[in-house]
Structure 1
Amino acid sequence: MSEAPELSESEAFAAEHALGVLSSAERRQAEARMASEPAFAALVEEWRERLTPMTQGISAVPAPHNLWLRIERSLGANDNAPIQRMVRFWRGATAGSLTLAAASLAAAVMLANRAPTVVQGPPAAGGSLLDASLVSQSGAPVPLFVAAYDPTRKALIVTSLVTPNNDPAHVHELWVIPADGKPRPLGILEPGKTKAIPMSEKLLPSLAAGSALAVSIEPPGGSPKVDAPTGPITAVGKLAKI
């Protein structure tokens, strides 16, 4: 029987990000790579799609109270290092080993059905760290753009995964649609490039978990309307806390 190919460092890192087992520092590094490297962003989305079915059909099993207490005592506040050590053994291993590690992690999450008490630090200025994957609205739901909001810089970092020069007669315009349903324009995106969009104090309340990001196809210069897209919507995604 032939062995499964070993994962590259980028593939393993993308898979760890999709599983949610990175430390906060590593997670920031992964989000930065997603914003600057379209190929890495695509890898993360591929692993998310690949790993999601593993949790389907798994019934929750209540953990004994004394078991959870032992786990809780072994963890430092806001420190997921023990869990990271448990799953990191598959970094650089075969794809088959990765599947086994992912299934084990899913089972562990099901057992931990009560959140531990942790020490929360002060919220970051400018809101929470958010991300979104904007998928195609025609045909297969393929990721076309990835976005991450950095509350420290108060900037939305958006990467276009669209092939450059595919439609030179039109441009892609980004919109945020908060709970009130009124679109706010955020700027023009260049195919295949990353753009950091500073958020004004007026726009900051619009960037919240649950708000939608949408990209419309517009004539050069953007939508003739300042408060609504005029062309078709090509991609949509919702912001979520990281």
Structure 2
Amino acid sequence: MSGPPQPDPPEGVEALAAEYVLGLLTEPELRHFETLLVRDAGLRQEVASWQACFAALTADIPEAAPPEDLWPRIEARLHGPVRAALWRQLLPYLLGAVAAAGIAWAALVSDVLTPGSAGPELQARLVAAAQGIALRADYAPRGHSLTVTRESGEVPVDRALELWLLSDSAGAPISLGVLGGEAVTSLALAPALRAQLPGATLAISEEPPSGSATGRPSGPVIALGQLAPL
């Protein structure tokens, strides 16, 4: 006796959103998709829905200390030569939430998605290739702070980089602060902003030293990155 029919694999933008959440997009695909995210609230909602869908697979799995070799095994699986082809084959089963392969994957990464009762730590990478600047944004829930580290490149003379939050609940970009010449900037966030961070997109614009005077990015947006659990 055959089981219930499996759902058809997603296509188009819906499939891209799912693959974005799973980390399957190539570097060019990722840059293009994050460009779409900044101006398409519906697409950001699609990404948030996929994140909730995949995270729900771990809801009934109790917390456990991961073995020391867990992360090397995850990296080996993610970055192997057949990574994309394998995950594309498993995607319909993840959608149905009934396939053994999907459950096994959820068990493997459950502690990565939900590492503590205070919520997951989040990270985003923002690369401005034309300016030669690479930044990393880290959010620590227990510290209520967002730390931005400039990993490479220099801020243009007489200019500053301003960090913006793009989320479904915000009608317009929200400035999180100006990043000056320091390599590391720590930004304290109000509770209302902290609640919007999971799955939100961060943007970097080039502004005057004091930041944008309009409340919106007044200079070019040079980098985008989505906050995702570590």
TM-score by length of 2: 0.53
Q: How does 1:1-242 map to 2 (within 5 A)?
A: 77-81=63-67, 83-84=69-70, 87=73, 103=80, 112-114=101-103, 115-116=106-107, 123-124=117-118, 127-136=119-128, 138=130, 144-164=134-154, 167-179=156-168, 180-191=170-181, 193-209=183-199, 211-225=200-214, 227-242=215-230
Secondary structure, counterpart of 1:206 in structure 2: coil
Which has the higher mean CA deviation after the structures are superposed, 169-178 or 114-123?
A: 114-123
Aligned-partner residue type, residue 123 of structure 1: S
| Alignment CA distance shift 1:184-1:112 (3 Å) | same
Q: Using the alignment, how far apart are the partners of 1:86 and 1:153 within structure 2?
A: 28
Gaps of 5+ in 1: 1-47, 50-75, 89-97
* C-alpha displacement of 1:222: 0.6
Q: Using the alignment, how far apart are the partners of 1:85 and 1:150 within structure 2?
A: 20
Aligned-partner residue type, residue 236 of structure 1: L
* C-alpha displacement of 1:205: 2.2
Q: Using the alignment, how far apart are the partners of 1:203 and 1:86 within structure 2?
A: 34
* Number of residues of Structure 1 aligned to a counterpart in Structure 2: 155
| Alignment CA distance shift 1:100-1:80 (3 Å) | closer
Aligned-partner residue type, residue 190 of structure 1: G
Q: Using the alignment, how far apart are the partners of 1:212 and 1:182 within structure 2?
A: 12
CA contact (8 A) 1:132 1:146 kept: yes
TM-score by length of 1: 0.51
Q: Using the alignment, how far apart are the partners of 2:194 and 2:63 within structure 1?
A: 30
CA contact (8 A) 1:188 1:222 kept: yes
* C-alpha displacement of 1:228: 0.8
Secondary structure, counterpart of 1:113 in structure 2: helix
Per-residue Cα deviation, 1:166-220 (whole angstroms, up to 9, x for no partner): 52121111111111351111111134611111111232222122x1111111112
| Alignment CA distance shift 1:105-1:152 (3 Å) | farther
Gaps of 5+ in 2: 1-25, 28-61, 91-99
Aligned-partner residue type, residue 212 of structure 2: S
CA contact (8 A) 1:133 1:238 kept: yes
Aligned-partner residue type, residue 162 of structure 2: E
Q: Residue 15 of structure 2 corresponds to which residue in structure 1?
A: none
Identity of aligned residues (%): 27
